[in-house]
A and B are shown apart, each in its own frame.
Chain A
């Protein structure tokens, strides 16, 4: 039976794990509570979830199910605090943003035990589509307000 990789606190700012294929990943969160500053009634902590390969090339190695299990473990820990809110933004720099979205969607599908709501968004920035997603615990007291604000931020200027 597969198990998650050992997650280590490499420093005070990120988590790290090393795969069987010798690819080192860093997982880090950034505080973006200010993102909802215009929605003053939202008081939950809001973070972006980020995962980055820092050593080794993940595109040259076969699909590794243990990476997914490790990410799911992080989500599980993250949402042990019901108030936590996560936003994931797919990097579009190398045109692989759709592949990243599919991967993130697959990770989430494996994780969700119906306790977490995932809302997908597509923001338009200077004509470029930025795929993003919001993850909120369904027991979060500000759930409806957070989802509404998230959709509002993704909507185009001029939309109702």
Chain B
């Protein structure tokens, strides 16, 4: 019985230690890049456009919301 209690205590300690370490890793990973807001906006724009066209929407519907450009000409003009 005493051995079982000891084993349970060790397991509990290991679980708590694991959770503690996970929290520490999470905290250390929470730093932001200097351009975090820009990359976040890029990602949000990309996801919003993807969601729109997946629902059958057209890119032209979003022309006021996003700054679409055509930097290349495929007609050679």
Contact = CB atoms under 8 A, between A and B. Distances in A.
A125 to B, nearest CB: 5
Interface of A: 7-15, 26, 28-32, 35, 45, 47-48, 50, 52, 54, 74, 77-78, 80-81, 84, 87, 89, 91-93, 123-127, 130, 132, 152-158
Main secondary structure of the interface of B (DSSP, over half): mixed
Interface in B7-51: 26, 29-36, 38-40, 42-43, 45-47, 49-50
Contacts of B36: 123-126, 157
Contacts of B42: 30, 32, 48, 87, 89, 132
12 contacts: A11-B60, A12-B60, A13-B60, A26-B59, A30-B42, A30-B66, A48-B46, A52-B53, A54-B53, A80-B72, A126-B32, A132-B39
B32 A124 contact: yes
A45 B33 contact: no
B53 A93 contact: no
A153 to B, nearest CB: 3
Contact of B34 (A12, A84, A155): A155
A99 to B, nearest CB: 16
A154 B71 contact: no
Given A91-B43, A125-B40, A153 B35 contact: yes
Nearest to A34: B38
B50 to A, nearest CB: 6
A11 B47 CA distance: 20
A16 to B, nearest CB: 10
B63 A13 contact: yes
A123 B33 contact: yes
A11 B58 contact: yes
Nearest to B26: A127
A145 to B, nearest CB: 15
A78 B71 contact: yes
Contact of A15 (B35, B39, B46, B74): B74
